[in-house]
């Protein structure tokens, strides 16, 4: 991972809505950060790091030191690209926080030093370890299939109560909301890039009826699938 090139920045504030052509890792170093990624709102503490997928609108409101790692060489063909395609919040242990502080000091003296790159490699590996959790990987790869929280909890060998708390700590939302957002993100792509009917798209992203799909879509976007398509200048296919 040390061969991976990073664009590393340290900001003192972050405001406004924008997106990037590459995934980003954000680490707020001075208190919690409020951030909206796509249609979901998150609070990221100084003991967490946050992944923002490529080409995803996000808006944060933060005044304080913010470590930003731009993963500029992750391509769609990269084996990690799927794992980096959805927002993830990862909890960090105290040792990592101490390492962040140590590397900040060294970065001032030698920004290209090996120790600096080890930090970013470690943060990146922590992120992938989280995304590689069996249940999160399953949702990323099989969002079109029916699944229960009990089944997801069994993948992690957790009871349901603990699993719900663990999942929210990792991703910033419940398993059901995470699954719904992945389905709707894929539905938006299909609505814009294909001529499939609403019912066909509903089935492709895991909904058995058009009405259920429409309710889920509206809960995330505030629009019906038909309105979303028409607002983007596409005549509805049904």
pLDDT for the residue numbered 161:
94
Is it the case that residue 1 has pLDDT exceeding 50?
no
Query: Domain holding 26: CATH number?
Result: 2.60.120.810
27 and 126 co-located in one domain: yes
Cβ-proximal residues to 195 (8 Å cutoff; 6+ apart), any chain? 237
- Indicate the residue among 132, 149, 174 that finishes a domain: 132
- Indicate the residue among 132, 155, 185 that finishes a domain: 132
Alpha-carbon distance 54 to 100, whole Å?
A: 24
116 and 186 co-located in one domain: no
Both tokens of 146, joined, read 């029916």
66 and 17 co-located in one domain: yes
Query: Domain holding 207: CATH number?
Result: 1.10.10.60
149 and 80 co-located in one domain: no
Q: What is the DSSP letter of 40?
A: E
105 and 171 co-located in one domain: no
pLDDT for the residue numbered 127:
65
Alpha-carbon distance 192 to 217, whole Å?
A: 14
Report if residue 2 sits inside a domain: no
Cβ atoms 84, 51 nearer than 8 A: yes
Q: Which domain holds residue 190?
A: 137-238
76-90, 92-106, 122-136, 194-208: which has the highest mean pLDDT?
194-208
Q: What is the pLDDT of residues 49-95, one digit of tens each?
A: 888 888 888 998 888 888 888 877 655 545 465 556 677 777 766 55
Total structural domains within the chain:
2
Is it the case that residue 3 has pLDDT exceeding 60?
no
With 0-12 / 13-18 / 19 or more C-beta atoms within 10 angstroms meaning exposed / middle / buried, residue 211 is exposed
Question: What's the pTM?
Answer: 0.59
């Amino acid at each position: 991972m040390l061969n991976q090139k990073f664009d590393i920045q340290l900001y003192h504030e972050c405001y406004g809505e924008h997106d990037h052509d590459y995934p980003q890792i954000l680490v707020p170093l001075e208190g919690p950060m409020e951030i909206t990624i796509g249609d979901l709102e998150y609070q990221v503490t100084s003991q967490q790091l946050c992944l923002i997928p490529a080409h995803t609108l996000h808006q944060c409101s933060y005044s304080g030191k913010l470590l930003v790692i731009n993963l500029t060489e992750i391509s769609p063909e990269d084996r990690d690209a799927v794992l980096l395609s959805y927002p993830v919040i990862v909890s960090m242990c105290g040792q990592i926080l101490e390492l962040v502080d140590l590397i900040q000091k060294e970065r001032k003296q030698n920004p290209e030093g090996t120790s600096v790159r080890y930090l970013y490699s470690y943060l990146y590996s922590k992120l992938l370890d989280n995304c590689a959790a069996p249940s999160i990987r399953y949702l990323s790869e099989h969002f079109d299939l029916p699944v229960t929280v009990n089944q997801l909890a069994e993948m992690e060998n957790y009871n349901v109560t603990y699993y719900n708390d663990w999942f929210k700590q990792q991703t910033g939302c419940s398993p059901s909301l995470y699954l719904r957002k992945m389905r709707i993100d894929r539905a938006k792509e299909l609505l814009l890039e294909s001529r499939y009917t609403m019912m066909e798209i509903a089935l492709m992203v895991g909904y058995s009826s058009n009405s259920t799909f429409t309710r889920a879509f509206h809960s995330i976007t505030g629009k019906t699938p038909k309105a979303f398509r028409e607002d983007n200048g596409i005549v509805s296919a049904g």
